[in-house]
Amino acid sequence: MLRTSTFAFAMAATLLAAISSTSLAQDMPLSQILIEGEEWKLVAEGYQFTEGPAVDAAGNLFFVDVPTSKILKVDTKSGSVSEFVTDSGKASGLMFGSDGRLYACQSANRQVVAYDKEAKPTVIATDLDVNDLVVSRKGDIYVTDYKNSRVWHISPEGKKQIVDEGIAKPNGVILWPDEQTLVVSDNAGGSLWAFRIGEGGKLEHKQPYYTLELGPQKSPSQADGMTVDVAGRLFVATSQGLQVFDPSARLAGILLKPQKKFLSNVAFAGEKLDTLYVTCADKVYSRKLKTQGISNQHALPQPK
């Protein structure tokens, strides 16, 4: 099993050194972060296909209804939902950068744009098939190209390059808290692929680091969007539910989907980044946890 390779141990050791040793001195079962009596709560409904949850500096959640091309904003204090962008070019993946702009993959326009606070877009890169993206604190962008089985890197200066090919259906993409490791989900496979980030944004040491639970039928994972918390746990939306892994790639447990429909993505939001939000077909749900997420607009908090 490749998970126990020298590279795998080296990656885990790198992350463990970057976060509190006390939180990782023992196994990290899902029960550590669950709150008794807390279940999924309905946040928004009445959409066609929700995707791309992203959190701003105030903890508000943004998401996209892909077929209608709208980007919506959830005020996480009041619970009110408002329209942020009317025509997003069929945006899918969203993420805020450390500059406060909302970066978006416009699949219809084959480009990546960044929206300012007034929802005015600036084109970042063009002529690439886009699905999801992650933005580092330094402004590096990684984009998955589901159609052509590629991963792209876009530099802070806007230069693009293909940095990986060969994952069957690269879908979700996320950085570890230290931003030295990139993880890409394979919608058609049973693994999440990890890379060390090299010079100039290039990807190195490709490994199927996380092994997904596929269920009794061993059907494709439908692995999609991901997020991480301050302790290095990774949360990934799959057909089996929201799978949660510890930094050493052990499966901590699976949170059941809030409804039986397709689970597409996940993000932490709220003022303290302690509430998990998921996009699930026509609805958006939330669930409070005993952990905090990561935002490149905030200082990295210490795990409890």
Q: How is the chain split into domains, by residue range?
A: 2-288
pLDDT at 219: 81
pLDDT at 258 over 70: yes
Rg for the chain, CA atoms, rounded: 18
Report in angstroms the alpha-carbon separations of 183 from 83, 161, 224, 271: 31, 17, 11, 26
Give residue-wise pLDDT tens across range 157-170.
999 999 999 999 99
Q: Is 29 left (phi over 0), alpha (psi -120 to 50) or beta?
A: beta
- In 3-state terms the chain splits into helix, strand, coil percentages (rounded to 5) of 10, 45, 45
CA 253 to chain centre: 18
Whole-number percent of the chain with pLDDT over 70: 89
Residue 247 pLDDT grade (very low, low, confident, very high; cuts 50, 70, 90):
very high
How far is 163 from 160, CA to CA, in rounded Å? 9
Whole-angstrom distance, CA of residue 61 vs CA of residue 11: 31
Q: How far is CA 35 from the centre of its chain?
A: 22
**Angular region, 204: left φ>0, alpha ψ -120 to 50, beta rest:** beta
Q: Residue 19's pLDDT is what?
A: 42
The CATH class given to the 2-288 domain equals mainly beta
- Within 107-169, strands assigned E span 111-115, 121-126, 132-135, 141-145, 150-154, 160-165
At 43, which amino acid appears?
V
Can you tell me the distance from the alpha carbon of 234 to that of 249, in angstroms, rounded to the nearest whole number?
9
pLDDT at 253: 96
Q: Alpha-carbon distance 93 to 91, whole Å? A: 6
pLDDT digits (tens, 9 = 90+) for 61-115: 999 999 999 999 999 999 999 999 999 999 999 999 999 999 999 999 999 999 9
**How far does Cα 276 stand from its chain's mean position?**
12
pLDDT digits 0-9 by tens, 163-193: 999 999 999 999 999 999 999 999 999 999 9
What does residue 20 show for φ and ψ, rounded to 5 degrees?
-60, 130
Three-state DSSP class for 269?
strand
Average pLDDT, the chain: 91
